[in-house]
Amino acid sequence: MLTEYGTKHAVHVITNHFGDLVAKVCECLLRKGPLTRQNVKRYTELSDEQVKNALLVLIQQNCVQAFTTEQPDGFADGPKANTQYVVLFDNILHRVRFAKFLTILSQEFDQQCVELVQGLLEHGRLTLKQMFDRAKSSEKEGKSDELLVEGAFVLKHLTQRCPASEPLLMPISEEEGPARKKGSKSAKKIGEPETIEQQVVEAALPMEAMRFSVVTNVESDVGEKEKNSNNVTPGEKRKHDVLELDECGVADEQSVVYRANFEGFIRRLRHKADHVRAHLDDGAANVLSAMLQATSSAEKKVKTKNSVPLSLSSIYEEVIKSEAGRNMTLDHVRASLVQLGELSFVDASSDSYSIDFEKIIEIAQNEEVESVVSKRYGRDAYRIFRLLSKSGRLLETDKISDTTFVEKKDAPKILYKLWKDGYLLMEKLVVTGARQSQFLLWKVNRQILWKHVLDEMFHAALNLSLRVSYELDREKELLNLPADKRTGPLQDRYNRIRKVRILLESSQMKLDDAILLFHDF
C-alpha cells in the first residue's frame, strides 16, 4: 500500500543508503510507476550514464525489477519488446529491518551463518562462489562451505536464487480480463496479483524447485552455463535497449546468484510478534506457538488466511518439544485449543485445527488503532471509537452518547474531532415531515482508516529518521574524536548523544513493528 508519506519515507531510506542521485531515480519510479530507461532519463533530467548506474545499483540491491512487455510496432517484424523498470517498495522498507533479520538468524544459526547472510543483505546479491569465499574466510569447527550454505540457508528458505533478470509480462486481453474478475478457475488457480509490482515479482520468481535449490559444484555449474550459451542462436538475442546486469556484478539469469529471501524473514517476524499473548494464559500461548512452529515449513506467503490443519496428536507432539510444553497433558492441550477457538484464533474442523491468521492480525490492528485514539484523544474518544469499530455500521450521535456514557454535550465535539482527523466517516440524514430534522450518523470504515493510519506511521518513521540524522550530523565532530580526547564536558555531550540515539532508534524499531502489522502481515 503506497501512500504519500510512504513514498517520502522510502526515498529517505534510499538517500541515506545510496545518495541523492540513486534516490532521485527511485523517487521517479515511485511516483510515475513503471518506466523505460529513456523515460526515467526524461523525467529526472539526468544523463544516460547516471540513470544507467542508478538503476544498476537499485537492481543489485533488489529495490528495482526490470521486465519486458511486447507492443505491436506497426510493421511486419512482429511485436517489439519494451524494457521497463518497476520499484519494489516492500524491499526498500525491508532495508531498515536488516538488524531484525540478523537477530532472528542469530537465534537459529551460528555466527558463520549470520555473517554469510549479512553479506547478502549488505551486497544485495552474491554468486555462489562469493558465498563460498566468505564461508572459507570464517571457517570454523571444520564445517565445509558447501554444507554451510546448502544445509543452513537454502533448506530453511532464508536465501533464494535471484529472480529472472527481465521476465516477460503478458498483458491481459479484453476477453480474459472480465473472466478473471468474475473469479474464473484460471484466476483462482493463478491468483492474479493486484498491482503491476506484484505481477512482475510473480513473473520473475524461479520455479519452486529451482528457487530454493543450490549447486555446490561451482565449476560444473559454470561449464553447464557455457554449454547452454552455445545453444543460443543469434536470432534469439533481443536487439532492444537492455541493461547488462554483469556490469554491476549481477550475472545473467543462467548464473547461480543468490539473495536474501525477505518473505522468509517476514514470516518469522509475524510468528514472533506478541500480538495476542495478552488474551491467553501460558498454556494457550504455548499451544499457539507450537502450532506456528509445526506449520511454518508449509507456508508459502506472508499474507495467508489460515495455516495448514493439524491433528490433536500432531499439535501435542510439537508442544512437548519445548520445556514449558512438557508440563502439559493431552487434556490441557485440548482445553487450550478450546480457549483459542472461543477467541477465534483457531478454527476447528472435524479432528483438525488451523490458525486463523486473518483474525489474529485483525484483532492486533484494532488494538493498535484503539491505543492511538486513547493516547491522542482520551478515554471518552476511545470508548466511542471502540463502539463504532465493533458495530461496523452507522450510528446516530445520541445513540453513541447513551451507549458509551459520554456526556451529550461532549460527544458531538469528540466525534467531529475524530472525523476531522480521518478516523471516522460522517453521513447526514435529513428527515422531512411536519418539521424537518437532521441527524448525523457515524461509522468506522476500516479499509480507508487503515490506509490513513499507515500513512501516519510512515510520516512518524520519516520524522524519526530525520531526527536521528540531524542529531548525528550535529555532533559529527564529537563522535569522530578518539575516546581519550573525550573528557569532562565533551564526555557528557557524548553520553547525551548516545542516549538520544538509542532512544530514537528504539522508537524506530517499535514503530516499524506497527508498520509490519498494517503493511506486511
Question: 3-class secondary structure for 174-194?
Answer: CCHHHHHHCCCHHHHHHCCCC
Checking if the pLDDT of 87 tops 80, the result is yes
Per-residue pLDDT at 186: 37
Burial of 486 (0-12, 13-18, 19+ CB in 10 A): middle
Strands (DSSP E) along 391-446, which ranges?
A: 395-396, 425-431, 437-443
- State the cell numbers at 116: 554469510
User: What is the band of 486 on the pLDDT scale with cuts at 50, 70, 90?
Assistant: confident
| Euclidean distance between CA atoms 512 and 150, whole angstroms | 31
C-alpha 206, offset from chain centre = 20
User: What is the band of 60 on the pLDDT scale with cuts at 50, 70, 90?
Assistant: very high
Checking if the pLDDT of 230 tops 50, the result is no
pLDDT, average across residues 85-106: 93
Angle between helices 379-391 and 357-377 (to 10 degrees): 150
Please name which of 343, 316, 347 lies closest in space to residue 329, comparing C-alpha atoms: 316
Checking if the pLDDT of 333 tops 70, the result is yes
Residue with cell 562462489: 129
Largest CA distance in the chain: 92
What is the three-class DSSP state of 135?
helix
Per-residue pLDDT at 146: 56
pLDDT, average across residues 222-226: 45
pTM of the predicted protein model: 0.82
pLDDT, average across residues 437-461: 92
Q: Where are the alpha helices (DSSP H) in 296-410?
A: 312-319, 330-342, 357-377, 379-391, 397-404
Checking if the pLDDT of 314 tops 50, the result is yes
Contacts 24+ apart (CB under 8 A), 194-203: 196/33, 196/34, 196/86, 196/169, 197/65, 197/86, 197/87, 197/88, 197/89, 199/169, 200/34, 200/65, 200/67, 200/86, 200/167, 200/169, 201/65, 201/88, 201/163, 203/67, 203/164, 203/167, 203/168, 203/169
| Euclidean distance between CA atoms 154 and 477, whole angstroms | 44
Identity (one letter) of the amino acid at 260? A
What separation in angstroms does the CA of 5 have from each of 10, 175, 195, 291, 438? 8, 37, 19, 37, 37
Checking if the pLDDT of 100 tops 50, the result is yes
Count CA atoms within 13 Å of residue 364 on its CB side: 22
User: What is the band of 438 on the pLDDT scale with cuts at 50, 70, 90?
Assistant: confident
pLDDT, average across residues 67-86: 76
User: What is the band of 153 on the pLDDT scale with cuts at 50, 70, 90?
Assistant: low
Identity (one letter) of the amino acid at 146? E
Q: Which residues of 439-469 are buried (b: 16+ CB within 10 A; e: fewer)?
A: ebbbebeeeebbbebbbbbbbbbbebbeebe
Q: Are 511 and 464 in contact (CB under 8 A)?
A: yes
Burial of 76 (0-12, 13-18, 19+ CB in 10 A): exposed
Q: Where are the alpha helices (DSSP H) in 72-166?
A: 89-94, 98-108, 111-123, 128-137, 145-152
| Euclidean distance between CA atoms 85 and 64, whole angstroms | 7
pLDDT, average across residues 377-386: 94
Which of 26-30, 254-258, 474-478, 484-488 is predicted least confidently? 254-258
| pLDDT tens track for 105-149 | 888 877 777 888 888 999 999 887 787 777 676 655 445 555 555
Q: Are 162 and 156 in contact (CB under 8 A)?
A: no
Count CA atoms within 13 Å of residue 391 on its CB side: 19
As beta bridge partners, residue 68 has 83, 168
